[in-house]
Amino acid sequence: MARKRALSAREVDALRDVGMHWVSDNLYLQIREQGTRSWLFRYWVDSRPKVLGLGATKDVTLAQARDKAERLRIKVRDGADPAAEKKTAKAARRAEQAVAAAASVPTFEECAREYINAHEASWSNDKHRAQWSSTLKMYVYPHIGKNPVNEIGIDDIVKVLKPIWTTKPPTAGNVRGRIDKILGWATAMGYRTGDNPASRDGPLMHLLPSLSKVQRQQKHHKAVPYKEVPAVVADIRKLGSTSANALLFTILTAVRTGETLGATWDEIDLEAKLWTIPAKRMKAGAEHKVPLASEVIALLESLPCDATGKNPHLFRGPRAKTLSNMAMLQCVRGVRDDGATVHGFRASFSTWAREQTDYSPEIVEASLAHTQSDKVVAAYARTTFLDRRRDLMQVWATFCMGR
């Protein structure tokens, strides 16, 4: 039987019918309905036909196609399977690309640190800044810190939150919110795609009970009944220690513990009888002016000053620049055994002001540096009631001193 003659370039160009056309040994031309033309290498392995693409005719000439077919024919004759080899090589390349891509995706912990670095300048509260890092380190990193951020899913979030969801609801809520922000940042950076598994409105709401339902009733800071405050103040004054002076200052000004501990002399204007606390040290992030009663001025004038100027704080600790958070509480425990707290004196002040004076709730709230919960009302508020608060704080100090 005579061997079939291979088609010439002119004969190949003349082919127009859609389908597969023999050109030479193992080499075929495929014409599709769209008019595209490409070369195919057709061969048999274990009596089964196989096809391998050699490229489009616009990219590969007939001579090049024949050369490729000849080399492949030799490989097939030697027992190789070109199509299987190509598939294996393609899979290997994809695996290499996946490994490279995974190596370029940061871990959750790396993203968290980047997020904190990018946003902490806007966090004026030092305590808030510290809590971000500490809660992630304690509750999140042990579970998903080393995971590539693009691989974190809903199961990972549940694994982090479930142990603290019902036992520490406030903490769990903060942790979820922080994970949500970090994953959102990672998505914006192009490190991950798809929905955020830590979103409050996502699938998570169906996998964990509502925080509002498991939230334990908030324990209020134990407060000294306002009628007993003068007696407590008298006992505190007998102590005469730095901690006792700091506690007395805190009670008479109705401020928070941290605001007293961080107070410096440059915030105090003795002549104007005014203490201006900068926004960065306030819980609400807004500057707060505290009018100082004459009793408070007398207390401040009795305090020792640091002649070297190395410690500008009003109340200095024995080994540190400031007293510890527990110093004033220890004083309270020294004169009360009912669990009263330093913060509770703010409640004592609030109750006294509402029950024993005619000052409006707005003035009382302003004295406590509470923000207006009604945003519409807050938008129209244009005063801090400083003069009225000065009167109120003087009356409070007079009451506390038992006069």
**What mean pLDDT, rounded, does the chain reach?**
86
What is the structure's pLDDT at 352?
A: 94
**Residues near 399 by Cβ (< 8 Å), separated by ≥ 6?**
229, 230, 352, 356
What is the structure's pLDDT at 92?
A: 83
Can you give the pTM of this predicted structure?
A: 0.51
Q: Please, which pLDDT band fits residue 198 given cuts at 50, 70 and 90?
A: very high
Average pLDDT over residues 363-371: 87
Give the model confidence (pLDDT) of 286-320 as tens digits: 889 999 999 999 999 998 876 566 778 889 887 76
* 256 and 221 Cβ atoms separated by less than 8 Å: no
DSSP codes, 20-46: EEEEETTEEEEE-TT--EEEEEEEEET
User: Distance (Å, rounded) from C-alpha 293 to C-alpha 298?
Assistant: 9
Average pLDDT over residues 220-246: 90
What is the structure's pLDDT at 337?
A: 87
Give the model confidence (pLDDT) of 78-95 as tens digits: 888 888 888 888 888 787
Q: In the structure encoding, which two tokens stand for residue 209, read together?
A: 């009970």
**127/157: higher pLDDT:** 157
pLDDT over threshold 80, residue 173:
yes
* 184 Cα distance to chain centroid: 9
Q: Please, which pLDDT band fits residue 376 given cuts at 50, 70 and 90?
A: very low
Range with the lowest mean pLDDT among 14-18, 82-86, 290-294, 375-379? 375-379
Phi then psi for residue 362, to 5 deg, are: -60, -40
Q: How far is CA 170 from CA 167, 176, 244, in A?
A: 9, 10, 32
pLDDT over threshold 50, residue 218:
no
Average pLDDT over residues 262-276: 93
Average pLDDT over residues 208-235: 79
pLDDT over threshold 60, residue 71:
yes
User: Distance (Å, rounded) from C-alpha 180 to C-alpha 43?
Assistant: 55
In the chain, the percentage of residues whose pLDDT exceeds 90 is 54
Q: Please, which pLDDT band fits residue 22 given cuts at 50, 70 and 90?
A: very high
Give the model confidence (pLDDT) of 330-360 as tens digits: 999 989 888 899 999 999 999 999 999 999 9
User: Distance (Å, rounded) from C-alpha 330 to C-alpha 113?
Assistant: 37
Average pLDDT over residues 140-164: 93
What is the structure's pLDDT at 389?
A: 94
What is the structure's pLDDT at 308?
A: 60
Please report the domains of the chain, with CATH numbers, ordered by start residue: 9-101 (3.30.160.390), 108-214 (1.10.150.130), 226-400 (1.10.443.10)
